[in-house]
Every structure is written in structure tokens, then in C-alpha cells.
A = this chain, B = another copy of it.
Amino acid sequence: MKRFLGLADFSREQILDLLALAQALQDKPEPSALAGKILGLVFFNPSLRTLASFQAGMARLGGSSFVITPGQGTWQLETRQNAIMNGASAEHIREGIPVLASYCDALGVRAFAEGKNLAGDLGESLFRMIDTLCDKPLINMESAMNHPCQALADWRTLDELQIPQKAKFVLSWVYHPRALPLAVPAATVHMAAMRGMEVVVLRPEGFALPPQIMTAARQAAAAAGGSLTETSDRAAALAGASVLYAKEWGSTMYYGDTEADSRLRAELSDWCVRERWFAGALPDTKLMHCLPVRRNVAVADEVLDGPRAVVKREAFNRLAVQMAVLHRMLA
């Protein structure tokens, strides 16, 4: 495997193979599988789980890693093509990425969406450029519109919890003070669709996921025997649901317009998941979230501290699935 950029690049069988490998490595550790191998990690944006789980995962497989954080101890990196670099950025990724790739055996990169132009972010222009610049195996540690490591960990979590393939999976928008990227909702809806679930996207008006994301997920759902619908009716969405996956994201109607987005979301602070949301759901409906989560803003303490919440298990599963990806790439 030379690239792990999105679940959509793989067949359902390939994903199931990766999940089986994650389980196999957990059942029977391979502490020397990646001896002598080096993973480079580049973080254009903050990280807790991703940083710690990739470093721990490489170490558990006998390898090692280094971390580069542009703008913090490292030069700020320019990403625009043909830029006249007389501003804050001292180095271009056209040099930075190939050079870092030359020092390691695989490279992981995190680069969030700019959040200004929806078509540009949907086009993944930055990650496509990084892709062409990196001659080593490359891992998407969250790009403008994807977060495959999270999606794979979530798939594993659903399997571990024995959530039936055809169960109802509700991805719900939740409140956040600011517009956050679409990477996790896009990756999540595609993952649940690929798994063959009855996927419902629940979101207020103005926060519909982009048609490109929905269309691709709908095709994946059809291929796997599942479905994908969208609604702003919370009760209808949650009726009979097995999973509520909470996630914050920015308005797509006002994408890049901070002021309009703020006005729109100002009215929506009641989109904080509370226990009463689950009134019509199944008795043991699970609450998922990729973390970090703002308590009592996106999800209430009563839910996060109760038996529904499986958010820490999701995070723990990042380690397992990333070890499988690294093993497949480097072993």
C-alpha cells in the first residue's frame, strides 16, 4: 500500500482486510515488524490522538518517528503554487515535503481545509499537491475533506460493539462556537455507507453536506446494500437509531463567510446532544464522536459520562487501525 488517503480509494474487501489485520496485530503483537523503519509526521494543524497514536503505533511495531510542526519550531510552509514568497513563509512545500519524505520510510500529513472556498476544499488541492510531491508511502492524517484514519477506527468500533451492518446510523450536526471543517462528517458518512448501514444525516438548514460528498456516499451505500438520507427532523432521524455520531461542522450555505455562518449558528446552540435526544432511539443507542469534543456545548456531560458514550473506544481504535495501515505499508 503506497497511499492511505481515503476509504473510497479501497474496495470494501480491502477495508475488511485492514480491519482484520488490526485485530491480528492486537491478538498477536509484532514488536519487530517495522524495526529500522521511520515515520515522518507533519502537522499543519493541532493534534492529540493523531500524534500520540502514530508515535505509539510505530514504537509498538518496532519503528520510530519524527514530528514536524510548521510554524512551531519549524519554518512556516508556503502551499500556494507560483507564490512570490516575500511574506511569513520561509519554505515551500515543493521543497519541504520531498525533503522530509527523503528522510523517512512513510510520511503522514495533517492539513485542514482552508475553509474559504468550498469547491477548492472539495478538490483537495493541497493534499493532491502533497501527493505528487511525496515519493514515499503517504498517510492522510486529516485533509480538507477526509479523515480516513478516524473513519477506519470508527468502523472497527462499530464492529467491536456488534452494531449490525444494516443498523440505523445517524450523523448529527452539533453546535460549536465556530465553523469547523467537513473532513470528519464527509469521512464518517462515507464509512457508514460503505459498511452498508442505514445512514441518516441530521442537520439544520444551511448545513447540508455538499452534493459531491452525498453522491459518492450514496453510491457506496448502494453498493453495500445500505442507504443514505438527509433530514433536519431530529425525532424522525433518531427513531430506531443504533448510533448517534455527533459532529460539528461549518455552514455549507455560507461556506467561507464567517459572519453569516456565525449568525446562522447563533440560533442553534440547542444542538447539544442531551439524554432526551435518545427518547425514540433504541435503548442502548451509542454516542460516537471523533474527539476533541466540547462538553456541554456539543455533547452534554450526562451523555459523555453515561454508558452510551463510546468516544474513548473510538480514540483507542485509532492505534489499532493505524498500526494495520503502517504494517501494510512498511512491513
Instruction: Show the binding face of A for B, using Cβ within 8 Å.
Output: 29, 31, 35-36, 38, 40, 43, 46-49, 51-53, 55-56, 59-60, 62, 64, 66, 68-69, 72-75, 78, 82-86, 89-92, 94-96, 98-100, 102-104, 177, 291-297, 301, 304-305, 311-312, 315-316, 319
Contacts and interface: CB of A to CB of B under 8 A. Distances in A.
A304 B84 CA distance: 13
Nearest to A64: B59
Contacts of A104: 52, 56
Ranked nearest first, the 9 interchain pairs of A and B with the lowest CB-CB distance are A91-B292, A85-B294, A55-B66, A56-B103, A59-B64, A99-B315, A102-B316, A84-B296, A90-B292
Contacts of A60: 36, 38
A59 B73 CA distance: 21
Contacts of A177: 86
Contacts of A103: 52-53, 56, 316, 319
A51 B75 contact: no
B90 A74 contact: no
B75 A312 contact: no
B31 A47 contact: no
Nearest to A76: B46
Nearest to A78: B295
Contacts of A74: 46-48, 51
A99 B295 CA distance: 16
A92 B59 CA distance: 26
Pick the most buried of A40, A66, A99: most chain B CB atoms within 10 A of its CB.
A99
A62 to B, nearest CB: 8
Given A85-B295, A294-B90, A56 B66 contact: yes
A172 B172 CA distance: 59
A57 to B, nearest CB: 8
B95 A66 contact: no
Contacts of A304: 94-95
B95 A315 contact: yes
Contacts of A53: 103
A99 B312 contact: yes
Contacts of A305: 94
A67 to B, nearest CB: 8
Contact of A48 (B49, B51, B75, B296): B75
B293 A95 contact: yes
A322 to B, nearest CB: 10
A94 B218 CA distance: 36
Contact of A85 (B75, B82, B297): B297
Contacts of A68: 48, 51-52
Contacts of A301: 82
A129 to B, nearest CB: 13
B73 A56 contact: no
Contact of A40 (B52, B72, B85, B316): B52
Pick the most buried of A47, A52, A94, A304: most chain B CB atoms within 10 A of its CB.
A52
